[in-house]
Structure 1
Amino acid sequence: MYDALVVGAGLSGLVMAERLCTQLGWKCLLIDRREHIGGNCYDAPDANGVLTHLYGPHYFRSNYPEAIAYLSAFTTWREIRYRVSSFTDGRHWSFPINLRTFEQLIGRESSPEEFRGWLDRRRMSFGEPQNSEEAMLASVGPELYEKFFKGYTQKQWNKHPRDLHPSVCRRIPIRTTRDEAYFDDSFQAMPQEGYTALFQRMLQACGNNLDLRLGLDFSEARNRFAYGHLIYTGPIDEYFGTGLGRLEYRSLRFELESYSSRDLARLGRQGFRQPYLQVNYPNSQPYTRIVEIKHATGQDTPHTNLMREYPQECAPGREPYYPVLTPPNLALYQKYLGLAAKERGVTFLGRLATYTYLNMDQAVERALRVFQGKFAAGVYGAGRERRA
């Protein structure tokens, strides 16, 4: 008899399992249908020993002191500023859009005042934008929207931006200064030894209060084990057997290219294959971006690797990565949310279970908030003894 079954060993599930085990002394079973912990944040060395993000780049950044302090108990950090380029029209462009991007566009030096005036003359007015296309046309106007956002968004989501919620494209900042940093968050860093090492320390902190079962699906575990409370971080429609219809998620395919020092020497390169951590391809290529994560990890090795990222449909057997935030999907999610509200002894947590795009720090912060507000406060009881 477990106090809690935690479904999903990604960030949300790991945080909740660690808190329940270490702070309340609960006996928890943590499961994941993959063969590793960490969910999409999992990292591991490639054939040359280069630490690799197997499911795309995960850039930790945050303005949440609680999330930073919590994770800092399990890792030291390598603080960095993430740099990204966008490759279109046969050249690299400074990205996200900033004064340098504008100077590349007009072919001369400029000023923040000139760039702001240029944007003001091109921005379109919609009142409150109703979709991602309107959001970006209102932010940067048609020329920059077509060059950097429209094609990338269509590849990423297989949807026209006008069919997506405004928040989908609003995540990328627009600056009129020469600040080329990809994010504005006050804290930007990578775990010094990688994400998997961080997660392993979280599990070690749980001691004998945690049992971990990998390669185990919830549909099997719910019938094999007795438990009091359920923490569910999987797709919410799957929990209900897709009885109201399937929610739409976007999946990804990754293509890894490893380069030894000898490979790089033949190409006339040393240490790195491309000049930027991440290069976006908004228009001409079938992939959306190429990432050379060694730029961020700072690993001391003469080898490197590239990871190409291809968005794809979330067919059966493929991992769901992103909720597709269209009006029909959001309406269907509200129906599932109504069913979830009637479930006793179940907490729905994380990106897939709440059908919300969450950054890593947001996932950590929400898990901590749910734990403190409901479990530590005694709303959900205090273990097997009380429930017995």
Structure 2
Amino acid sequence: MYDLLVVGSGLFGSVVAFEARRRGKRVLVVDKRDHLGGNCFTQRIEGIDVHRYGAHIFRTSDRAIWDYLRQFCEFNHFVNSPVANYKGELYNMPFNMNTFNQLWGVVTPAEARARIEAQRVPCASPRNLEEHVLSLVGRDVYEKLVRGYTEKQWGRPCTELPPSVMRRIPLRFTYDNNYFNDPYQGIPMEGYAVVMQRMLEGCELRLSTDYLAHRSELDALADAVVYTGAIDGFYGYDLGPLEYRSLRFEHETLDVDNYQGVAVMNFNDADTPYTRIIEHKHFAFGTQPVTVVSREYPAGWQPGDDPYYPINDRRNAALYARYRERADAQSRVRFGGRLGEYRYYDMQDTVKSALAKYEEWFGAESDAGDRGGRIR
């Protein structure tokens, strides 16, 4: 018998399992995939840690969260500086003075501001993403750096996407290609799979185990359940499925030592079917004689596919609220993480949420458990 069953060995589930285990709880973790780590999983190929489900670059401004993860790994000093490729024209990201110089040949911040202001299409109440972006940055940035990439990512024209898809468009009037402002950034030097292995030490781990297919027998093994899968899937989609965007990855090992010269290259034109190519060795400054690249294709989603990005429009928000009301009435099952809460989380937000949720759900019981009590 276990005190806690955790469904999903991704970052949220692994943090919850670690917090329970370090308090002396007996923890069972199940995952339907044949590996731990969820979408953070890294696989070692030719000495290169390959991010199987897209780039995962950890960054935070919270020293406590940084130190929390450092108990499981040593981070390198990778700083994300992606390049945007628009029909062979290359632009630095995020939008900064290097980008503006590449677009217009401007040199000073004043010149860049003047070019943006001349192109802006003022709109007091934008009805869609196109109007929103044009009102902030004008036609050149929109056409070359926003439109094609965003429409591929979401599978809809920008005229049909809400302005909230890009609430803020960070414009930096400095020559700085650091994508994030956070002071703590990096990637685990041994890969994320090792991080999760260390988090789950002392727990029983069952891979290739579909919780929903064996729910009754697994539930009978534990006092409480933390479910990190899709909340609508838990209920068999009986109120209707929530909407997601999915992704498809093509991984390729190439007999060259350097394919594109950067870890992340976005492809911003509408004609290129993938949104970006990841060259994994650059995350760790690798010098291997070969390289591994991954092409990332946005895809529609239907039940059975891997869900990645929730589509947070009004219809889905209302539907999620109905599932959430039902979930809140559960006495033994708690829902957390991106899919359990139907929201987008960065990695740092996932760790914060998992720590907070554990204390909310089990803090008092865990304190009692340290003296022989059990999670209820």
TM-score (norm: length of structure 2): 0.92
Structure 1 residue matching 2:297: 3-state secondary structure: strand
Cα distance between partner residues in 2 of 1:172 and 1:6: 37
- Provide closer, same or farther for how the CA distance between residues 30 and 153 of structure 1 changes in structure 2, counting only shifts above 3 A: same
Cα distance between partner residues in 2 of 1:89 and 1:299: 28
Q: Which deviates more from structure 2 when the two are superposed, residues 271-280 or residues 121-130?
A: 121-130
- Provide closer, same or farther for how the CA distance between residues 114 and 37 of structure 1 changes in structure 2, counting only shifts above 3 A: same
CA apart distance, 1:212: 0.8
Kindly indicate whether the alpha-carbon contact (under 8 Å) linking 2:34 and 2:207 is maintained by their aligned counterparts in 1.
yes
Cα distance between partner residues in 1 of 2:183 and 2:115: 29
- Provide closer, same or farther for how the CA distance between residues 164 and 368 of structure 1 changes in structure 2, counting only shifts above 3 A: farther
Kindly indicate whether the alpha-carbon contact (under 8 Å) linking 1:50 and 1:303 is maintained by their aligned counterparts in 2.
no
Q: Does 1:281 align with 2:267?
A: yes
- Provide closer, same or farther for how the CA distance between residues 66 and 345 of structure 1 changes in structure 2, counting only shifts above 3 A: farther
Structure 1 residue matching 2:138: 3-state secondary structure: helix
Per-residue Cα deviation, 1:79-126 (whole angstroms, up to 9, x for no partner)? 1211111111331111221111111122x3421122123323433444
CA apart distance, 1:171: 6.7
Kindly indicate whether the alpha-carbon contact (under 8 Å) linking 1:64 and 1:365 is maintained by their aligned counterparts in 2.
no
| Structure 1: segments with no counterpart, 5+ residues | 265-270
Cα distance between partner residues in 2 of 1:241 and 1:27: 29
Corresponding position of 2:205: 212
Per-residue Cα deviation, 1:121-141 (whole angstroms, up to 9, x for no partner)? 433444465654344233312
Kindly indicate whether the alpha-carbon contact (under 8 Å) linking 2:275 and 2:297 is maintained by their aligned counterparts in 1.
yes
Kindly indicate whether the alpha-carbon contact (under 8 Å) linking 2:301 and 2:307 is maintained by their aligned counterparts in 1.
yes
What's the RMSD between the two structures over aligned residues?
2.2
Cα distance between partner residues in 1 of 2:53 and 2:151: 20
Corresponding position of 1:230: 225
Per-residue Cα deviation, 1:214-250 (whole angstroms, up to 9, x for no partner)? 1111213421132221111111111121111100111
The number of aligned residues is 372
- Provide closer, same or farther for how the CA distance between residues 172 and 213 of structure 1 changes in structure 2, counting only shifts above 3 A: farther
Cα distance between partner residues in 2 of 1:81 and 1:274: 17
Corresponding position of 2:354: 367
Per-residue Cα deviation, 1:142-187 (whole angstroms, up to 9, x for no partner)? 3311211111111111123344454433476321211111222111
Corresponding position of 1:115: 112
Corresponding position of 2:177: 180
Per-residue Cα deviation, 1:262-285 (whole angstroms, up to 9, x for no partner)? xx2xxxxxx311022111111130
- Provide closer, same or farther for how the CA distance between residues 162 and 363 of structure 1 changes in structure 2, counting only shifts above 3 A: farther
CA apart distance, 1:20: 0.7
Structure 2 residue matching 1:79: 3-state secondary structure: coil
Kindly indicate whether the alpha-carbon contact (under 8 Å) linking 1:168 and 1:325 is maintained by their aligned counterparts in 2.
no
Per-residue Cα deviation, 1:334-387 (whole angstroms, up to 9, x for no partner)? 221222222222221111111111111110111011123332234997499557
Structure 2 residue matching 1:315: 3-state secondary structure: coil
Task: Select 1:242's aligned residue among 237, 240, 262.
Answer: 237
Per-residue Cα deviation, 1:42-99 (whole angstroms, up to 9, x for no partner)? 01122x3322111111111111222211110000110121111111133111122111
Q: Which deviates more from structure 2 when the two are superposed, residues 11-20 or residues 1-10?
A: 1-10
Task: Select 1:303's aligned residue among 269, 281, 290.
Answer: 290
- Provide closer, same or farther for how the CA distance between residues 129 and 350 of structure 1 changes in structure 2, counting only shifts above 3 A: farther
- Provide closer, same or farther for how the CA distance between residues 291 and 126 of structure 1 changes in structure 2, counting only shifts above 3 A: same
Corresponding position of 2:26: 27
Structure 1 residue matching 2:50: 3-state secondary structure: strand
Structure 1 residue matching 2:187: 3-state secondary structure: strand
Q: Does 1:73 align with 2:71?
A: yes
Letter in 2 for 1:237: D
Structure 2 residue matching 1:332: 3-state secondary structure: helix
Cα distance between partner residues in 1 of 2:306 and 2:265: 24
Cα distance between partner residues in 2 of 1:380 and 1:285: 54
Corresponding position of 1:267: none
Mapping for residues 1-388 of structure 1, pairs under 5 Å: 1-22=1-22, 24-46=23-45, 48-106=46-104, 108-127=105-124, 131-170=128-167, 173-204=170-201, 207=202, 210-225=203-218, 226=220, 227-260=222-255, 264=256, 271-283=257-269, 284-378=271-365, 382=369, 385-386=373-374
Cα distance between partner residues in 1 of 2:42 and 2:286: 13
